[in-house]
Structure formats: C-alpha cells, structure tokens
Amino acid sequence: MYSPLDAKRAAPLAVGEATALRVAVVGLGYVGLPLAVALAEKFDTIGLDIDVRRIEELAEGRDRTGEIDAGRLDASELALLAEPGRCPPCDFYIVTVPTPIDGANRPDLSNVEAASRTVGAMLPAAVAEGRVPVVVFESTVYPGVTEDICAPILEAASGLECGKDFFLGYSPERINPGDREHTIDKITKVVSGQTPEVLDRVADLYGAITSGGVFRAASIKAAEAAKVIENAQRDINIAFMNEIAQIFSAMDLSVWDVLAAARTKWNFLPFAPGLVGGHCIGVDPYYLSHRAEQLGLDPRVILAGRGINDSMAGWVGRRLHEVRGGKPGSVLVLGLTFKENIPDLRNSKVADLVCTLGRLGHAVTVHDAHADPAEAMHGYGIPLVAEALEGRYDLVVLAVPHRAYLETGGKGLRGLVAEGGTLADLKGVLGDADWTL
C-alpha cells in the first residue's frame, strides 16, 4: 500500500503524460474503504480522508472497522491521502461520507456538503487536464439532494457548470458491516447518471468491480429513493415485531414461540424483534420522512415505525426492572455495538438500555468483545470493563450475541449470575434464559 506521503503517487500528471482512468474515493469509513480497495484492483485509485489518524492506520495495514484485513490492505495498490490538495486530477470522484441525523431527528447534511466543497475545489484541475469528471454520491440521502443541494455547492466551489464541465451520478451504498457474503464485489449495484452517456460511464465503472452486475436506475432521484426505502422497509417490519413482542409480553407469551409457529407459513417474512441501531436502519427513515413533511405530507407509517423502534430500549429496560421486582441491583450488559461480531458503535440502542437501567437505580457494568473502549467512552460516556466477566451480577443481559458470548454458552453465562439473579436474552439465542423478549 502506498504511503500517505508518497509524493510521486500524489502528484498531478505531467504535460503530455497519458491519462489513464483515475478514481478518487472521498471518505474511507465502513463504506468508502471496501469500495476504494475494490476499485484499486482495477483502476488507479486514491482514497481521501481528512482524518489523518485514519490514513496513518490504513497505511500501516490496520482497519479499525474490521472490513478489510491487514493482508488485503498491504497488497492493495490504493493510494492514501489526507490532503485533498495533493490529489491528482481524476475522472471519477466518489463521495462516501456519512449522513447522520441531528438531535431533533432531522437530516444532517453537513458532511456531504463539506465533501461537495472539497470535491468542487478539485474539479478545475481535472477539467484543465482534458478529463470530463463525474461526481458520484453514495451517501444515503432523500431524493433531490444530489442535484438540488450538492450540485450548486460543486459549482460554487469549482466555478464550473454542472452538466457541461462536470457531471453527476448516484450509486447507493449497500455495505452491511460484518457481512462477508454480500460484499461490494458480489452485490448488484444500483447506478444512475445525469445523462445517458454518464450513466454508461458509471455503469462501466461499477460493473468492473462486482460480479452481481449493475441496475440502471431511471434517474438520480430514483436511485436516491431506492436506497432510503430499502432501510425504511426493514425498519417498519422490525417495528411490527417489536410491537407484538410488547403485546405478547403483557400476555406472558413468548414472542419467539409465536414466531417459531408463524414462520412455518411459506410467505411469512423472517423478521425478529430487537434494538434497531446502526447508521442505516435507525437513521435513513428520518431522511424520507423529512422530505415528505417538506412536501406537506404526513408520513405516518414511517414515523410510527421509528417511534416504536426508538422507544424499544426504554421498554426493555423498564421490563427488566419489573422482572427484578422493581429493586435496583448489579447489572452486566454484554455487548454495546449495534450488531454482533463487529466493532461498530454508531447509533447503538444498547446505550439507551444502559441509560434506562441506570436511571432506574441499577449499577450497570458493560462488556463488549469487539468495541473500542475509547470510542464507547467518547460517544456515550460508557466505560467498557475488560474484567467484567470475572464478577457475578443480579442481572446479566445478553444484549448483543457476539460469537465470543455464544461460545461461552448459556451455562457459562449463567455462571456470571449471582444466586437468585436473572439471565436475560434479548435475541432469543440461548434457549435457557430466565427472560427473553
């Protein structure tokens, strides 16, 4: 892998030098890094990230997200840069920065707007070299953001005209953290372009790196919309599961027993209740509902689903408190990441569960087999206690079924429970827990 200080790699082409197709990927997180590494196997590719520490780690072969192993990083021809001004002119600039929500659940486009300004400043050099650059956005947004918000920023930063000097594309990311089956080189990639010719170029680029083929969306807005409803659909289905889990709990009926029976029907959808976190499912529906409200519409189903899922951690915390007779005690929560076997702490609803139990007077200790303790403290103010598995607690909650916990098994986890204590399983994976959803 090229060093971030590799001047030869970062220098623009000399006059008269051949212009091989070159790609820049802006943002090297869970989405950008796998994409950049895959593109680097086919094209001259530069990975840009303003986080100098991130660039240094990747240059040393370390990916804190766990998406790309050290061997593949070391073998990659991907060039790494933290300074956009050193990026050589490119044919494609692919933006993969995160698009979160703010405290009021409104879309926060500050990252994608900043990335647009950064890319805009790089476009004149590409045009001057005779390239016709295409700016492709992968960040999840509501329909219209690419053309109505990003395009004017690109024009202002570059002094160029969109649709004449440079063009737009959109290809929604489909990275599923920790998923080694549906990787960037195997999935179908939805692509779109500002013109038919640009669509062909974008399709050729992505088609070169995936065996799953490409789907040519009818428009950029259609591609943006497809992405946001993929996650909204899952959110709504899980919300139904969470609602029936609460209903059945009031009936002293196991939702897992009910689902085991219902799933014998051939067209029953295999969703399950749980804490809905992460950067996608717990966030993207708010992008669509925001745009709907701007249009004077009332997205009742979308917001109802979000309301149920956002409140689920609080309900679980209160229910566990009731199971313990309403008496505060010592609690061990196993797992803080938003899903199993990954270090991703973004939008973790387990953190909400921890806060609920704390407000109810319980002394909560948290352990996670994958999360970075510094990130947990910075993001949530929750210390991860490495030696937590050496104690015994009134309540042990398997919140995230990391492989390390499952290998211990129900018997091993029960060894963490004090006499008269409770073993709770939020995913219904242990089979012999005292309480499940």
How far apart CA 211 and CA 73 sit, in angstroms, is: 21
Query: What are the φ/ψ torsions at residue 235 (nearest 5 degrees)?
Result: -60, -45
How far apart CA 371 and CA 390 sit, in angstroms, is: 19
Q: Do residues 398 and 427 make contact, with C-beta atoms less than 8 angstroms apart?
A: yes
How far apart CA 60 and CA 55 sit, in angstroms, is: 9
Pairing of strands 189-193, 167-170: antiparallel
Neighbouring-strand partners of residue 215: 190
- 431 Cα distance to chain centroid: 30
How far apart CA 185 and CA 181 sit, in angstroms, is: 10
| Residue count of the chain | 437
- 116 Cα distance to chain centroid: 20
Ramachandran class of 130: left when φ > 0, alpha when ψ lies in -120 to 50, beta otherwise: left
DSSP 215: E
CB count in 10 Å sphere of residue 380: 17
Q: Catalytic residue numbers?
A: 280
Query: What are the φ/ψ torsions at residue 101 (nearest 5 degrees)?
Result: -120, 160
Among 370, 377, 378, residue whose Cα is nearest residue 337: 370
How far apart CA 240 and CA 238 sit, in angstroms, is: 5
